[in-house]
Amino acid sequence: MVRKAARSIVGISSFKPDGEGIAQCTGIVVRWNEITRMATIVTCSAAVCVNGALAHPEPKLLIRFPNRAIGEGRLLFFNAHYRIALLEVLADYPLQPANFGSSPRFGQQGFALARDDESYLIARRGTVLCQEPPRYLKYRHWLSLGCELAPCGMGGSVINEHGDVIGMTVSHSPNPYMLSISIMRTCIEMWTNFSRVARPIHGMNLRAVELLDISYQEDIELEYGINDGFIVNMVSNGSSAERLGISEGDIIVSYGGQHDFTLHKFEHFLLSLCWGFLMSIDSTWRVNFEDFLMRMNRSAYIYAVPRKKGFFKQQDHHAMPYALLFLFDVLVHTIRNCPR
C-alpha cells in the first residue's frame, strides 16, 4: 500500500538563483500527461516562500523522482493562507498521479510520506489527533498528526489504509499539521478553472464543542440541550459575523443547513461558497441569507478584496489572490458562562 502510493511522491529542492537554499520539501503528483510528459505537482508553499512571501520571484526547483532522476520544475501558483503551491515539471520517467480519498477523521490511522534529497522514501505512521490547534495558531483548519514528521516531509501526502491521500503535511511545529484533502482539491480546482483562489473572511475565531473538556460539554448539554456546535470566542469589528449579530460566547448550531462541526470541514464549506463569486462576471456577488436572530430574510453582497496588492508579480503564473467578505445562513444560541 505504501509502495504503491510512493509512486506519486517526489522530492523538491528549492534554491534562489545564486544557489542559496530555500527548502527541502516533498511533493505529490496530481496530474500526468502521457503525451507532453508534463506533471503537475502540489506541495507546501514553504518550498518557495519565507514568512508567507516568495523567497524569490523565479526560484530554481529541482524535482527528485522515485527512479533517482532529477527534473527542473516551474512554479505555477501558490497561496500562502492555505500553504499550498503548484509546480510543473517535464519528466521522462512516467509518474503516477495520487489517488484522492475523503476528508480525514479524528482517530484515523495513516502514513505521512516524504522523499529526501537523495530520492529515498520515508514513511511515518501516525494518527489524526482529536484536538484543536493552539489558540495562537491562525490556521485553525489544520489537523494535528500524531507522528514525527521527516525533516523533508512538508508537502508530503498523508495516506489512509487504502493508499488514498487524505491530506498534505504543512508544518513541523509545534506539532506536525496537515491540510485536509478537501481543501487542497478545492484550491487546485479553483486555480485550474479561474487562475486564482478566493477564500472567505468571516471575522470569527471558533472552537468546536466536542473538543472542550468533557465537564463543559456536559454542562452545555444539560442546561441548553446543545451537544454540538462552534463556540465563538472572538468576533472582529465590522465583520460579516458582527453584522449578523454574532458575538463572543455564542454557539453556532447550524450553518448553511449543515451540522458538521469540525473546523476543517467548516473551512471547506466556506471555501466552496466562493465558487459562485468566481463564476460571476462582476466583482460583487448577491446572495440570500436568513438572520435567525432577527427571524428575517435579507439579501447581501459579497465583495472581492485583493489581498496585499503587489504581493505577486503580475505574470501568467502568478494570479492575484482574493479574499471574500460575506454573510451566510447561520443559527446561533447565546448562552451564559460559555467557555472561551
148: CATH: 2.40.10.10
- Structural domain boundaries enclosing 148: 109-181
Give residue 165's pLDDT: 98
End residue of a domain, out of 38, 57, 90? 90
Query: What are 14-46's pLDDT values in tens digits?
Result: 999 999 999 999 999 999 999 999 999 999 999
Same domain, 148 and 253: no
276: CATH: 2.30.42.10
Query: Within a domain: residue 26?
Result: yes
Cell of 147: 507522528
Give Cα separations from 210 to 66, 91, 131, 207 (angstroms): 41, 46, 9, 9
Q: What is the mean pLDDT of residues 154-170?
A: 96
Query: Within a domain: residue 100?
Result: no
End residue of a domain, out of 61, 90, 119? 90
Cell of 171: 508544518
Residue type for position 48? V
First to last CA, the chain: 42
Query: Within a domain: residue 102?
Result: no
Q: What percent of the chain has pLDDT over 90?
A: 47
Contact 242, 235 (CB under 8 A): yes
End residue of a domain, out of 34, 59, 90? 90
- In degrees, rounded to 5, the angle at the alpha carbon of residue 140 between the alpha carbons of residues 325 and 174 is 145
Residue 308 — very low, low, confident or very high, per pLDDT cuts 50/70/90? Answer: very low
Given a cut of 90, whether residue 256 has pLDDT beyond it is no
Same domain, 213 and 308: yes
Same domain, 223 and 316: yes
Same domain, 55 and 159: no
Same domain, 177 and 206: no
Q: Coil, strand, or helix at residue 66? A: coil
Given a cut of 50, whether residue 302 has pLDDT beyond it is no
Same domain, 163 and 256: no
Query: Within a domain: residue 126?
Result: yes
Q: What's the chain's average pLDDT?
A: 81
Give residue 311's pLDDT: 28
Between residues 38 and 302, the one the model is more confident about: 38
Q: What is the mean pLDDT of residues 87-115?
A: 94
Give residue 181's pLDDT: 96
Same domain, 249 and 317: yes
Given a cut of 60, whether residue 265 has pLDDT beyond it is yes
Q: Coil, strand, or helix at residue 127? A: strand
Query: Within a domain: residue 101?
Result: no
Given a cut of 50, whether residue 184 has pLDDT beyond it is yes
Q: What is the mean pLDDT of residues 148-173?
A: 93
Between residues 306 and 9, the one the model is more confident about: 9
Query: Within a domain: residue 235?
Result: yes
Same domain, 28 and 54: yes
Query: What are 129-147's pLDDT values in tens digits?
Result: 987 766 655 667 889 999 9
How many structural domains does the chain have? Answer: 3
Query: Within a domain: residue 131?
Result: yes
User: What's the rounded Cα separation, in Å, for the pair 172 and 154?
Assistant: 7
Query: Within a domain: residue 258?
Result: yes
Given a cut of 70, whether residue 234 has pLDDT beyond it is yes
Same domain, 49 and 76: yes
Given a cut of 90, whether residue 112 has pLDDT beyond it is yes
Residue 323 — very low, low, confident or very high, per pLDDT cuts 50/70/90? Answer: very low
